[in-house]
Structure 1
Amino acid sequence: MTAAESGPDRLVVCHREAIGHCVLSLAPFAKGEVVDRFSGEIGPELRQHSLQVRPGLHISDTRFVGFLSHGCDPNCRLDMERLELVALRGIAAGDLLTIDYAETEDVLFRQFACQCGARTCRGWITGRLEDANEDGLRRMADGGKSAGRSSVLAGDAAWWTREDLHYRAGRLRFAGCDVATMAAEVEEPLYLYSLDRVEANLDRVLAALGDVGCEAGVYYAMKANRFRPLLERLAQSGKCGIDICSPGELDLALSCGFAPGRISFTGCGVSRGDLATLLRHPDLSINCDTIGMIRRIGESSPGREIGIRVNPGLGTGYGDGEKLTYAGGRTTKFGIYREQWSEALATAREFGLKVTGLHFHVGCGYLTDQLEQWSRAIGAALRFLDEVPEVRTVNVGGGLGLPHRVTDQPLDLARWSSILRDHFAGRGVRIAVEPGDYIVKDAGMLVLRVTDVEWKRDTRFVSVNGGFNLHPEPAFYDLPCEPAPCVLRGKGTNRQTVTIAGNINEALDIWAADIALQPVEEGDAIAFLNAGGYGVAMSSNHCLRGSFRECAI
């Protein structure tokens, strides 16, 4: 039988040596525009240039669309109900048109190696319901030749895979547990934390600090994650202190087993009432963020030891993002600048306060590429130290980052510690560090349930039962939580380009836009990785959708 007639010809079939027959546009197309309406003979036979209309039926002799090239990040998609080719993004005249073969085909006429160069390139292309053949398995075992993202059968070589986080037989496992099984036991969104991973991350920081050549220690930044079992595990380990930023966090730290002498307070907007609570504990370290805070402490507790948070005017953060950089060209609310430093010291002297600590925190999530700028910030901060010889501890803050995207490389802790060693050699002070994210972020995930999978114009939306109110960082700070289906559907390396949307009635409630994801269906569970830090701790009940569970494994 024959499908509906095609529209005007704005395409041309040509031949290129590297890819064979292909289709070029003869005119520009906007995102969402119908590029071609096609027709052809529909029957049961699978041919080299046919396209699957539905299982067991294929359309051939379609003039153009049968010659479309494959791309793992295609610029077009096929609507096999309307028999239309639709632009996924803007297309210029002369562009090569591409589709993802696994979007429509259960089984390919012939599997092949892909060298499309896309970041999400799968390396070996199969239909969505078939395993890679012997050539494909051999190629993937050899590591492949794709210039893009490595991806083997069933997703086992995802960039985030590690010993305690991987797929086994197509099912996601975390800290020895089957994630889908755990998610099936609860209806609400589920946070899972690996406490062993938390402690291993802490051990990694401590090992790096062992190479800095002077006394050094860690204060875990509670604001990253205040899950009680996690805090109790850290307190019981005796390996670190804890940094807090409110009286409420002080109460929680004490109740979880941290003695006042192991607690450091670094807060802003600190009221007299806040200080009254803090000053009840003389062994508590307090870092003053303003001159007014120094004065209020002096009026209440003259002669007390204090630390002062300074702002070196230089900073860095993940991807050099402005929202994640706490000191730099833009004046920020954190710490005391050089221009006010003399006044701060004079205020401390007026009340006999002893400045025994210096503190600075210049950004969040920095990786190896940002270490040079971080080093410059340390140099600028240490110039404050020359005027306060009684300082015993310099707290360099936190901000150590970890990879959020396939293109990110892990923080080089050896280089990080060598920078500290170079700056602090011969100064005779103790170094303190306040990692939060680095310790807990990749030790947690948020598991959400798929509620819908459907097209809206040119976008395939995957809707889930949790939104940015449960984990604000992807929407607010461009710190993505990598989505991983808890059970892989079908076979092969097929992925679909989707946008994952949350259930909050706000336009910015998008978990991930235009990403390549293995197929999911309504009711499936998706784990959002790197959700252990600043998720629950920043969550809200917006739209009265703040319900969730937390579980330590």
Structure 2
Amino acid sequence: MDHFLYRGGILCAEDVSIPEIAETVGTPFYVYSCATLTRHYQLFKEALEGIDNLVCFAMKANSNQAVIAHLANLGAGMDVVSGGEYLRAKAAGVPGERIVFSGVGKTREEMRTALTGGIRQFNVESEPEMVALSEVATSLGLTAPITIRVNPDVDAKTHEKIATGKSENKFGIPIAKAPAVYAMAASLPGIEVVGIDVHIGSQLTELEPFRLAYEKVKELTLQLRAEGHDIRRLDLGGGLGIPYERSNTAPPLPTEYGALIKEVVGDLGVEVEIEPGRLIAGNAGILVSSVVYVKEGEGRDFLILDAAMNDLVRPAMYGAWHDIVPVVEPAPGVEQRPYDIVGPVCESGDTFAKQRQMPPLSEGDLVAFRSAGAYGAVMSSEYNTRPLIPEVLVKDDHVAVIRARPSFDEIINRDTVPEWV
């Protein structure tokens, strides 16, 4: 569910009308709902009730500090994948003991930053990374708590670009090598093994891949404990999908996911960490855009918007679907027609949808891309010297711009032209 509903024929974000926001900040822009963020986080907490747990928001889905701070105030931890995300989390008030550091390419400087600033654990992904972390930790006179990410060779049955648990993916160590790597970890100074980490992909729409991966992790837990390792924490990753296309079958609910976790690993006496991102933030945000032109083509018509692939890259990168709806609710029974919905960037890939059925629209009309709160603003760019678009946060009838649109002068003045040019 989300809190973007038509009221009196106008799409609203909680108690605020979308045209009101558009009048203030201009289009395009992102708007997020606090009520939706809260509800989706609480669904995961309720699903894991009865076992020791920490729900860490995967910041790569949406790293705006206002979003982070809102979730942190609810008790969420954060899953970060870079030094920059770590510093964003700390700036938003997240304590180090609630930050988990993932990612395959952590640098020594990033390790140093997290160790000195405080960290719950590093999810280590390779032997060379573990050696480097040992050296950094011992140089600081500190101990680095770690889990080791294992690759269970499980097909997540998701898009190939967001699958992470197959043997050919770059993530983690092969699960068959885990006992040897854990033995290595136990021998290194400055390293404390606290658990196991696994994450098999994103936008999963069925539970069976999770079951297969978690059963392998359970078996490994028992083996490692028998070999003397103190496995007291399981980081089970994230990846539960959301219904981008509302006419399709909905993915499993957090309650079903939580029940699976309890069934498979609930008897191990471990603390469970999960790292949802998309399901917490995805339906908590929409992208709002204006129609610039309605163009008649050869055999098809185009809606040319002021939003572009640099603002929302998912359709161009993944062929992803987003429901696109008019901000003014169409009259019942209005005849729809097919449009190619495109942006102004000089790329044929700047296409959001082809032959999408829409009610007739005119220049200046507003449309909203649903389920755009995850992997939207965070993946945006200034391609074609198009400014990053504003982000807006709504709570009840309160509205705040949480990232302003930069001016062209601000963008251009970042460049420096050497005097010898």
Range into which the TM-score falls when normalised by the shorter chain: 0.7 to 0.9
Decide which of 506, 526, 548 is 2:367's aligned counterpart.
Answer: 526
2:241 to 385, 392, 401: 401
Aligned to 2:201: 363
Question: 210, 220, 233: which one pairs with 2:70?
Answer: 233
Separation (CA, whole Å) in 2 of partners of 1:542 and 1:408: 35
**Whole-Å Cα distance in 2 between the matches of residues 176 and 306 of structure 1?**
44
What's the CA shift for 1:340?
Answer: 3.3
Report deviation, 1:321. Answer: 2.2
Give the Cα separation in 1 of the matches to 2:387 and 2:181: 42
Contact in 2 for aligned 1:359/1:397 (Cα 8 Å): yes
Aligned equivalents of 2:255, 2:144: Cα separation in 1: 37
Q: Note if contact 1:193-1:552 (Cα within 8 Å) is conserved in structure 2.
A: yes
Superposed, which structure 2 residues align to 1:48-447 within 5 Å?
Answer: 164-210=3-49, 213-237=50-74, 239-302=75-138, 304-317=144-157, 320-328=158-166, 331-352=168-189, 353-367=191-205, 370-389=206-225, 390-405=230-245, 406-447=247-288
Q: 1:234 to 1:545 in 2, by over 3 A?
A: same
Question: How much is the aligned-residue C-alpha RMSD, in angstroms?
Answer: 1.8
Partner of 1:544: 385
Is the alpha carbon distance of 1:540 and 1:411 closer, same or farther for their aligned partners in structure 2, counting shifts above 3 Å? same
Match of 2:415 in 1: none
Q: Distance in 2 between matches of 1:349 and 1:216?
A: 25
Give 1:516's aligned residue: 357
The higher radius of gyration belongs to 1
2:5 and 2:14 in contact (8 A); partners too: no
Closer/same/farther in 2, CA of residues 373 and 281 from structure 1, 3 Å limit: same
After superposition, the C-alpha distances for 1:531-553 in whole angstroms (9 at most, x for unaligned) are 10111111111111233111101
Task: Measure the CA separation in 2 of the matches of 1:254 and 1:420.
Answer: 29
Q: Give SS of 2:328's match.
A: coil
Looking at structure 2, the residues matched to 220 and 441 of structure 1 have their Cα atoms a distance apart, in angstroms, of: 12
SS in 2 for 1:331: coil
User: Alpha-carbon deviation of 1:436?
Assistant: 0.7
Give me the TM-score of the superposition, normalised by structure 1: 0.66
Larger relative contact order (Cα-Cα within 8 Å, sequence gap ≥ 6): 2
Measure, in 2, the Cα distance between the counterparts of 1:503 and 1:386: 56
- Which one has a larger percent helix, Structure 1 or Structure 2? 2
Give the fraction of aligned pairs with identical amino acids, expressed as a percent. 28
Q: Is the 8 A contact 1:489 1:520 kept in 2?
A: no
Structure 1 residues 387 and 281: alpha-carbon distance in aligned structure 2, compared to 1, 3 A threshold: farther
Q: Deviations over 1:66-120 (max 9, x none)?
A: xxxxxxxxxxxxxxxxxxxxxxxxxxxxxxxxxxxxxxxxxxxxxxxxxxxxxxx
Q: Please, which runs of 5 or more residues in structure 2 have no aligned partner?
A: 395-421
Deviation at 1:338, TM superposition (A): 2.4
**TM superposition shift of 1:474:** 2.0
- C-alpha deviation, 1:470, in angstroms: 1.1
1:328-384: CA deviations, max 9, x gaps?
2x50011111243244223312314321121111011112xx211221122123333
**CA distance in structure 1 between the partners assigned to 2:4 and 2:199 by the alignment:** 31
TM-score (normalizing by structure 2): 0.86
Task: Measure how far apart 1:249 and its partner are.
Answer: 1.2
2:9–2:328 CA contact under 8 A, matched in 1:
yes
Partner of 1:68: none
Q: CA deviation at 1:174?
A: 2.2
Shift of 1:477: 2.1
> Unaligned 5+ residue runs, structure 1?
1-161
